Structure formats: structure tokens, C-alpha cells
Amino acid sequence: MSIWTELSGIDYRHAYVKTGDITTRALQAGPEDGEHVVFLHGTTGHLEAFVRNIPAHAERYRCHSIDMLGHGYTGKPDRPGEIPAYVEHLLAYLDAVGAERAHLVGESLGGWVASWAASEHPDRVASLQLLCMGGTKVNPAVMERLKKSTRSASLEDDISFTRDRLRLLWADWDEELGEELTRIRYEIYHHPDFQRNLHNLLALQETETRERNLLRPDRMARIKAPTLVVWGNKNPFGDVPEAEAIATAIPGARLEIFNECGHWPQHEKADLYNPLSLEFLAASSTT
């Protein structure tokens, strides 16, 4: 099994989309007249985080998995990556592909960005799925762990550091795709532009910057979009009570806990996540 095997049954496009002054890498699939679903990865992640989800969703929805601002092979402006900038880039992408509204699926940082967008631009967000979302706490130990592991993975030549960074995300190592994803991530992490921009991608792991970007309860209370919160009971970056607090803060949010699952529920438990997501999207769809 490989990433290309996962995608072999669908018609997809590996695209570079002009979004303002940024060129954005995207994986696009599904009917062009379908409702838009945009998948957003985590800190220093990339669009391949959703290869196990795109085929199931592309049967009905117009799917977009994108490298977020400064990430992967998307453009890298030399400024700290703060949440309003990620939201601005997301909206520019929606404009570029002609999507007035979209369902947003965000994992970790992606959920943080999606929630912020929903609180500021409710007319652009049809629904929210928050997968092990970050951004509701300042936890220095977790932030330092993320910074240290990512810097080692990017700045050391030894690929084992990249593998260890990826292993952080899963409760159990993925024997099928783990090595391929490690190689993809290694190439991204060792691109000179990525290394030059790394301090900007890790800006939210600095306390002062994180504080002014936090998703506080009053902001989450403003979210009107139907919301599904998905969490792994072995998420290394946040325990289940954090998920419960998020679901409580967002009006009407539904919470699902996956057992024996870490920080990538959409990948680790794709067999559970895909039907759950499709059921939620169907209930939230406008057509």
C-alpha cells in the first residue's frame, strides 16, 4: 500500500493555485459542482495527511487538501505564522477556486485555523470538523517538545529524526504508509525554503505569540456552524478533558472519542472516521 494506491481509484488533480501573492499546493478531487470540503493539516504538516480520506469524500464532495500558508510546497512569506494570516490565506484559496462557502476539516493547527475562520467569517463556513484541534491552551512542555522534535527533523540529516517526529502523531506506527510519509516529510523539511521559514512555522509555539492567538471560550461561543469534535484517547498533545471543554464551548458541538488513537484520527482510524464524517457532512449539507 502506498499513497498513490490510496488515490488510484479516483480522478484527482495535484494543483498549484494562485492565491493572491501566494502559490498554494492542493490535492483536488470530486465533482466540480459538489459542495466544497477543505482539509487542513497540523503544524509543519502537508496535504498528504488526508490521503486516506479524500477518496471516500470525493464520491460526493469537491475535496481540497492544501498545504497551508508557509507549509509543504506552498509559498513562504517571511513573517510569523499567526492564525489571522492562515485564515486570510484560506479565504484567498476559497476565492481562487470559486467557493463561496466550504465545509472545513482541520486537524491540530488546521482545526485552530478553521475555528477562527468560523468565528470571524460565519458566512464562509458550512460546517466544522475539529480533529485533535490545538490552540485552546498554553502548555510549555508540549510546545517545547514540538519545537525540539521539528527542528531536529528539519535541521539534522539523519532521517530517523523525521521518522520520530511523525511517530509522535500516532498511537501505533503505521507500517503501511509510515516510511513513505517519512520520506515525503523529509524532503519537505530539508528544502532550503522550509528550513529558512521554520522559525515562522513554529511561532505559535512561543508563549507570547500563542497567547494572542488563543481560541478562548468567548470566541468558540461565537461559532454558529455545525461542529464535530474528534479526539484520540492517546493524543500526545492533549487529553480527553481538553476535547470535552472544546465541545462544551462551541454551541451544539458533537464529540466523538476514538480509542487507541493518537493525534491523527483521520489517518489512524480512517475506517471509523470516514463514515462518521460523511454522515456529519450529509446532515450539515445545504443540498
Does residue 286 register a pLDDT over 70? Answer: no
Given a cut of 70, whether residue 167 has pLDDT beyond it is yes
Q: What is the mean pLDDT of residues 27-41?
A: 98
In percent, how much of the chain has pLDDT > 70? 99
**Smallest Cα–Cα separation from 73: which of 103, 101, 41, 102?**
41
3-state secondary structure of 230: strand
* Confidence grade of residue 179 (pLDDT, cut at 50, 70, 90): very high
User: Would the pTM of this model clear 0.85, i.e. be above it?
Assistant: yes
The Cα 227–Cα 229 span in angstroms is 7
pLDDT at residue 276, rounded to an integer? 98
Q: pLDDT tens for residues 66-115? A: 999 999 999 999 999 999 999 999 999 999 999 999 999 999 999 999 99
DSSP reduced 3-state for 234: coil
**pLDDT at residue 3, rounded to an integer:** 86
pLDDT at 4: 85
pLDDT of residue 1: 73
